[in-house]
Amino acid sequence: MRQRLLLKMGCTGALAVVLGASCVFAKETTMRVTRVPAEAVAPGTVVNEEAPTGWTHLVLKTMPTLETGDVDDMSDSDKKYASLFHTVFVADIDRPGRNASHYRLARIGVGCSTDINGSDTVVCNKSHKRLNADLGWVAGMLLGEICKKQEAVTIVAQSASIGLVDTPMVVRWRDENQKMVYRYALLVDTETGALDTLVWLIQPDEKGSLDKAVGQIRWLEPNLVQHASLHVDRDKYRFGLPTELAFAVNRQLPADRTFDLPPGTARVLAKDAYQPDEVVEIERRLRVELANLRARNTQQASR
């Protein structure tokens, strides 16, 4: 039970976001539109509340917490395992070449971390003993399952100024725990190296294929360390063990950091694969909507 529980918690915590429309694009026009796995953050990397060594940006760190649903039915040990591991999402923005004048999105990485001597440290099933994580046999097995799950985090498309990243997730949606996908858009200002991250939900169809984007788009705060609220559904247990849908992340949507899907984009924002020109158009529209959100926030703050 604990192995399955932590697997869901770790992956749910994973995965379950400042640029305007006038951002200058990089002169580098290379774009990859073939899916590849996100890079694995090196074991031993310390990730507290800012970008770790070897990376320029902490996109998101999630720390799962059981908060809603049938929490009282969980044992104390299962609650402990549910919050033992954290998910780390990082990016590296650089200038390619000694005399380069523009920045680019160079790397995107994910990892699983836990507390080691007061520091949140990235571990994997082959390194936790060497790093003195003192996990024990059960937690070590669960860590291995989480690390395998993180291999499903894929980069859909990437250029100098944008990266689209998919993270499979179980989400509490319309009063049900459902398999969905979080799609992140990493937007880079190629003149300054600044990063903005947007994220939205994709709902699969009955066959499990990506279907359409739903809900609102969230603009993540920089260096976001978030306590991921989880919902426990006792009806998703079988023979006393949690199934894949037993635990789900509750979406958190601050009003001043969300906006509606751009009109007519529900399908295109959920495509499984893109042509380069489609990614360019998605980036353009997202930047326009983000600029509008920032303008609204500025206007409200001045009242």
Confidence of residue 127 (pLDDT cuts 50, 70, 90): low
Confidence of residue 274 (pLDDT cuts 50, 70, 90): very high
User: Which among 234, 260, 262, 263 is positioned nearest to 246, based on CA atoms?
Assistant: 234
Confidence of residue 137 (pLDDT cuts 50, 70, 90): low
Angle ∠(257,259,263) on CA atoms, nearest 5: 165
Range scoring the smallest mean pLDDT among 137-151, 231-245, 259-273, 276-290: 137-151
User: Which among 227, 301, 216, 291 is positioned nearest to 253, based on CA atoms?
Assistant: 216
For residues 223 and 226, give the distance between their C-alpha atoms in angstroms, rounded to a whole number.
9
Contact present, 173 and 201 (Cβ < 8 Å):
yes
* pLDDT more than 70, % of the chain: 84
Q: Does 154 have pLDDT greater than 70?
A: yes
Q: Does 229 have pLDDT greater than 60?
A: yes
For residues 32 and 274, give the distance between their C-alpha atoms in angstroms, rounded to a whole number.
10
Burial class (CB in 10 A: 0-12, 13-18, 19+), 27: exposed
Q: What angle, 0 to 180 degrees and rounded to 10, lies between the N-to-C axes of helices 136-150 and 2-15?
A: 40
CB atoms within 10 A of CB 216: 15
For residues 164 and 159, give the distance between their C-alpha atoms in angstroms, rounded to a whole number.
9
pTM of the model: 0.87
| Residue whose pair of structure tokens reads 């074991």 in the numeric block | 43
What integer is the mean pLDDT of 292-297?
96
pLDDT, tens digit, 9 for 90 and up, residues 162-187:
999 999 999 999 999 999 999 999 99
Token representation of residue 263: 């009109």
How far apart are the two ends of the chain, measured CA to CA in Å? 53
Range scoring the smallest mean pLDDT among 1-5, 141-145, 239-243, 260-264: 1-5
Range scoring the smallest mean pLDDT among 27-31, 68-72, 154-158, 230-234: 27-31
pLDDT, tens digit, 9 for 90 and up, residues 51-83:
999 999 999 999 998 999 999 988 787 777 778
Residue-level length of the chain: 303
Contact present, 103 and 193 (Cβ < 8 Å):
yes
Distance of CA 161 to CAs 35, 89, 95, Å?
17, 18, 12
